[in-house]
Amino acid sequence: MRTATVERKTKETEIFVSLDLDGTGEYDVDTGIGFLDHMLESFSKHALIDLKVRASGDLHIDFHHTTEDTGIVIGQAVARALGELKGITRFGSALIPMDETLTRVALDVSGRPYLIWKVAFSNAKLGEFDTELFKEWFQAFAQAAGVCLHVETLYGINNHHIAETCFKGLARALREAIAIDPRRAEAVPSTKGVL
């Protein structure tokens, strides 16, 4: 079973995440930030990862700490559930259209975190959510999960569509990368023998 539960408590946030990488996309998400909940639900659904998230944070200040820490804990849970990375496909990519928007996501579950973020928003806010926080979430996730992650919106106008294609792209690329390759069995997908 590729499952994990991670809790993180700081003076700013308390985050609980439980997930099953081999799920069906069932989700139960409550971060206190409506738009972030919507994105994480979409991520769960399209990654086929069962995901439970409970987050409470200093939202009276702003959404930064809760957003970033949620990315950290989900990333940690993914890394923990993957264990030694044996048998996985390792690489994944997705090209996600949504109306006028097209976003490309590619990733390597390598143990070497990196983020390339070529995504621009025309507004500083999406509802009450600061659009600059999307990069913070993806950075936190990539670092904690140990993935090399490239996200690029090729074109788009609607900020909601841009954000949603980024999360759906991550979901589909991750789903591909963590799939078990039956030809690899228990082998680590690297000439080094470890990741």
Nearest to 49, CA basis, from 145, 183, 162, 190: 145
Q: Is 0.85 topped by the overall pTM? A: yes
Confirm whether 36 is domain-assigned. Answer: yes
Inside any domain, residue 152: yes
pLDDT at res. 185: 73
Distance CA 194, CA 85 (A): 8
In a domain, 13, yes or no: yes
Name the helix (H) or strand (E) containing 129. Answer: strand 129-130
Q: What is residue 181's three-state secondary structure?
A: coil
Measured CA to CA, the distance from residue 50 to residue 61 in angstroms comes to: 30
The per-residue pLDDT for range 141-166, each reduced to its tens digit, is 999 999 999 999 999 999 999 999 99
Task: Confirm whether 61 is domain-assigned.
Answer: yes
- Number of structural domains (the chain) is 1
Q: How far apart are the first and last CA of the chain?
A: 20
Residue 187 vs residue 21, higher pLDDT: 21
In a domain? residue 188 = no
Question: Does the pLDDT value for residue 195 go beyond 80?
Answer: no
Residue 191 lies in a domain: no
Domain of residue 20, CATH code: 3.30.230.40
**pLDDT band at residue 188, thresholds of 50, 70 and 90?**
confident
Q: Which domain holds residue 18?
A: 3-178
